[in-house]
């Protein structure tokens, strides 16, 4: 298990930029095996203006995006920039939302590789707030080569 890294390294590895960077810090990573990443959820997030102004709730699709960005960071380690640019997320199964995520929460994303065969990778992903599972999914990706 390697120590994590900060937003500077995250921005080197992901193509996302404001307002779509949904990872603030990588807490720990075991290359090719697992990752723990963090997202601080604040009222300043632009999506809270419309989701919903009287009861702000983080959209589930953005929680999933945080899990996918964590998965991308897990896969990025041994890849060149050209290979990272060709990673394609191909599907999600078993998506479940268990409780709302609201301003002030700290999301912890945990992603682990289930299996990898050739260029296809299947991963389990979960999001936690205060050690409670708030969302989960299985994520599939196609790495390297032509898409």
Q: Token pair 């779509």 is at which residue?
A: 20
Residue (of 29, 1, 36, 33) closest to 113 by Cα position: 33
Give the whole-angstrom CA distance, residue 41 versus residue 38.
10
Pairing of strands 106-117, 34-40: antiparallel
Does residue 51 carry a catalytic annotation? yes
DSSP 8-state secondary structure symbol assigned to residue 90? E
Structure tokens at 43: 């009222």
Catalytic residue among 25, 51, 119, 122: 51
Catalytic residues: 51
């Amino acid at each position: 298990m390697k120590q994590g890294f900060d937003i500077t390294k995250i921005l080197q590895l992901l193509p996302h930029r404001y307002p779509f960077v949904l990872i603030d810090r990588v807490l720990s990573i075991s290359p090719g095996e697992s990752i723990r990443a963090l997202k601080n959820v604040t009222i300043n997030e632009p999506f809270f203006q419309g989701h919903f102004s009287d009861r702000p709730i983080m959209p589930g699709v953005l929680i999933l995006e945080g899990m996918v960005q964590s998965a991308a960071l897990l896969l990025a380690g041994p890849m060149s920039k050209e290979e990272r640019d060709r990673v394609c997320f191909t599907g999600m199964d078993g998506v479940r939302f268990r409780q709302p995520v609201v301003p002030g929460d700290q999301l912890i994303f945990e992603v682990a590789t289930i299996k990898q065969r050739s260029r296809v990778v299947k991963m389990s992903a979960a999001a936690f707030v205060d050690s409670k599972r708030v969302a989960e999914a299985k994520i599939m990706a196609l790495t390297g080569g032509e898409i």
